[in-house]
Amino acid sequence: MDLQTLSFIAVGLTFAIYIGIAIWAKAGSTSEFYVAGKGINPVANGMATAADWMSAASFISMAGLIAFLGYSGGAYLMGWTGGYVLMALLLAPYLRKFGKFTVPEFIGDRFYSKTARVVAVISLLVMSITYVIGQMRGVGIAFSNILQVDLTVGLVSGMVIVFIYAVFGGMKGITYTQIAQYVIMIFAYTVPAVFISLQLTGNPLPQLGLGSTVDDGRHLLQALDQTLVDLGFAAYTSVGTSMTQMNMFLLTISLMIGTAGLPHVIVRFFTVPRIRDARKSAGWALVFIAILYTTAPAVGAMAMWNLLNTVQPGEVGTEEGNLRFDDKPDWMERWERTGLLAFEDKNEDGRIQYYNDRNPEFAAMAEQEYGWEGSEITRIDRDIMVLANPEIAGLPNWVIALVAAGGIAAALSTAAGLLLAISSSISHDLLKGTFTPNISQKSELLAARISMGGAILLAGYLGLNPPGFAAEVVALAFGLAAASLFPTLMMGIFFKKMNKEGAIAGMLAGLTTTLVYIFLYKGWFFFPQTAMLPDNPDGWILGINPTGFGVIGAIINFAVAYGVSKVTAPPPDHIQHLVESVRVPRAD
């Protein structure tokens, strides 16, 4: 069977599963719609959380990101997993004890202020909508690049599926679909990784394969270091070359705090029956996430090794050392057609040279000694490192079809979680909580379904007409979560005397400083021509990369909140009692 047919069968089958779940899991009350009736088993919730959390970016882009960053890519691995420690120890059990439906609801009640709740809703909407754009782009990549289907057709069919299970099933439908999506996505990610690890190192576990030896007896990482250096790049394991150690440090902490502050992930812990389930469930979530996150660095390094050895099969600098254009493997031809990969025979020798031509010393030497006139892979999209993996490893077509289904599962599961966070903050926090407090449960449920439908349409529209800044916004979402929601939630639990003035001032201070710092370099509202400072290490204040600014915003939030709370009235007694009761699992 050809690839196209197989891919359609794989994607069609997964869609049929999602629709089946939608019919089976229909939400009958607001509690079922918002938090799945608080009846999800902690292990099952862990799996759903993993799918909710691991987005199109984790599935498609992360391994490629690490492949080109080398050691510093660890910032993403540690940052996106370390956040679960913060979640499990500092937030999840207490927010579950509070026992309501949304994150802004906790902030509004704890800080006895509708203003605080609305500020929280605004930051939730900004971060969730920006994040959803990235998922839509992921659905688009899976359809148009792997399946070679028209982007519009792909996106619209994805949206219809999400509509069916999210509008009718709410959190209940989303949870069971996410469990199915996790299984599909992890299978699709690990199968090619296992085969590649076996081929390169003889070890079926990629986590061990990364530390094993290749054919000539050298360790994979050493050999990779050597080849990269021979081609003028920095060694794969070298420290401080692709980002400074300070920026790696800040980025790691910012991603950790941001992860713990993302509302669509936090609400997943509202769905388990008991407080102790929330603690345990965070552990299971991280187990399921770690299966992919410990495989990704191996996939990255191995894909890089495969790429370098395909282009440079012989000794560097010898005439026979480079791949002839005529001998390009099929996968290169195929990905060239998608535009993600491009070649140009600059020195017209009929062979491909891939090296670091931005290293002036090496480039000059290569030109003089080897006759190389620039790197001839003129474009290589890092997503290729995952997407082309099955073909590079020579795996059968059904594995490629599986990767397409996996990428779509990763994008849809995260999109659904975000859409639920968006729609419940509108129907529950803005309508029921602020503007029309007297609506019945039935009308609130209807409002929730309508806002879910609206959010899906908005996401679909943004997916078809992506704003030019799509790539920048994920950093923004994490920065905002780190600087606004996480510190406020934490202070709500751990500082009994924190009052509404402090919380509101802190949130606003964290939000604005982070936004301003990002806008200074990326342009106001991401219009690049309005950037006021150059976005490079020389232009960064104290050398701080805007993507790692979240932690600074969080510190500003803490400091301002603390200062303001010291000079204003302490919270009323019943709020202090609320805090005491949140801290204890079985309170009276």
How far is the first Cα of the chain from the last one, in angstroms, to the nearest whole number? 64
Stretch binding another protein (CB under 8 A), from 6-14, 78-86, 142-150, 257-265: 78-86
Check residue 276 for interaction with another protein (CB under 8 A).
yes
Q: How far is the CB of 65 from another protein (least distance, A)?
A: 12
**Within 561-580, which residues bind another protein (CB under 8 A)?**
580
**Within 466-505, which residues bind another protein (CB under 8 A)?**
none
Check residue 99 for interaction with another protein (CB under 8 A).
no
8 Å CB contact between 142 and 181: no
Nearer to another protein (CB atom), residue 483 or residue 490? 490
Q: Give the residue, chosen from 82, 134, 158, 492, that forms a contact with another protein under the rule CB under 8 A.
A: 82
Length of the chain: 588
Q: Give the residue, chosen from 71, 355, 362, 558, that forms a contact with another protein under the rule CB under 8 A.
A: 71
Q: How far is the CB of 587 from another protein (least distance, A)?
A: 7
What are φ and ψ of residue 344, in 5° steps?
A: -150, 125
Check residue 264 for interaction with another protein (CB under 8 A).
no
Check residue 252 for interaction with another protein (CB under 8 A).
yes
8 Å CB contact between 429 and 108: yes
Check residue 53 for interaction with another protein (CB under 8 A).
no
Nearer to another protein (CB atom), residue 84 or residue 526? 84
Which contacts of 365-368 are long-range, i.e. CB under 8 A and separated by 24 or more positions? 366/232, 366/317
Q: How far apart are CA 76 and CA 533, in angstroms?
A: 25
User: Which residues make Cβ contacts (< 8 Å) with residue 261, sequence separation at least 6?
Assistant: 481, 482, 484, 485, 486, 489
For 393-545, list the strands marked E by DSSP.
none
Q: Give the residue, chosen from 1, 13, 16, 89, that forms a contact with another protein under the rule CB under 8 A.
A: 89
Q: How far is the CB of 253 from another protein (least distance, A)?
A: 7
8 Å CB contact between 414 and 365: no
**Within 198-217, which residues bind another protein (CB under 8 A)?**
207-208, 210-213
Angle subtended at Cα 35 by Cα 579 and Cα 103, rounded to the nearest 5 degrees? 40
Nearer to another protein (CB atom), residue 225 or residue 501? 225
Query: Tokens for 97?
Result: 């004890």
8 Å CB contact between 385 and 304: yes
**For another protein, what does the binding mask look like between residues 214 and 243, x meaning CB under 8 A?**
-----xxxx--------------x-x----
Beta bridge partners of 213: 219
8 Å CB contact between 118 and 504: no
**Residues contributing to the site for another protein (CB under 8 A):** 66, 71, 73-74, 77-78, 81-82, 84-85, 88-90, 93, 207-208, 210-213, 219-222, 237, 239, 245, 248-249, 252-253, 274-276, 279-280, 282-283, 286-287, 290, 293-294, 297, 580, 583-587
